[in-house]
Amino acid sequence: MSRSRENPQTLSTDTVCGHKIQAVGVTWDAVRVPHSAGQRVLTLLGSSSGAVVQDEPALYWFVSTGSAASWDVPGTRSLGLTHYLVVPPTHRVQGPGPHWRIPPEDGELLTEVDALRVAVQYAMVPLGTEIAGTP
């Protein structure tokens, strides 16, 4: 049976620490951004960012299901149907280990994928490099 047809509740496993190992691509996809660029993405997105999980050495943004298939930003990784992500309990907002950098508010996880793409593209450019079309 294809994973996409399974019951989403069977696609999540609890760990002893209260984290969940969740299948990606069922109710959301995710984008993995290296920690150094991820800090810049947080600043660029500001209040437009949805929930973010931090797990050294990366940050993970949640995007709409199917978005991973068209993600193409070098230096990052999209997570879709064949991936799993460790999701911390909502109260876990500090490390060590996976924790919420921006916890979900009222169950809302998603960041708009086009806004995330633009922020990540800017964040991945080395500091001090001029970007065409900007003042």
List b or e across 10-43, with b for residues whose CB sees 16 or more CB atoms inside 10 angstroms: ebeeeeeeebbebbbbbebbbbbbbeebbebbbe
pLDDT of residue 107: 79
Kindly report which listed range (6-15, 21-30, 68-77, 106-115) carries the lowest average pLDDT score.
6-15
8's tokens: 């989403």
pLDDT of residue 130: 54
For residue 40, tell me if it sits in a domain.
yes
Entry pTM: 0.84
Backbone angles phi, psi at 46, to 5 degrees: 55, -130
Give the helix/strand (H/E) hosting 29. Answer: strand 29-34
For residue 57, tell me if it sits in a domain.
yes
Residue 116 burial by Cβ neighbours in a 10 Å radius (0-12, 13-18, 19+): buried
pLDDT of residue 12: 59
Cβ–Cβ < 8 Å for 38, 66: no
Q: Considering its fold, how many domains does the chain have in total?
A: 1
Give the mean pLDDT of 12-27: 81
Give the mean pLDDT of 113-129: 86
Range of the domain at 72: 3-124
For residue 103, tell me if it sits in a domain.
yes
How does the average pLDDT of the chain come out, rounded?
86
How far from the centroid of its chain's Cα atoms is residue 19's Cα? 16
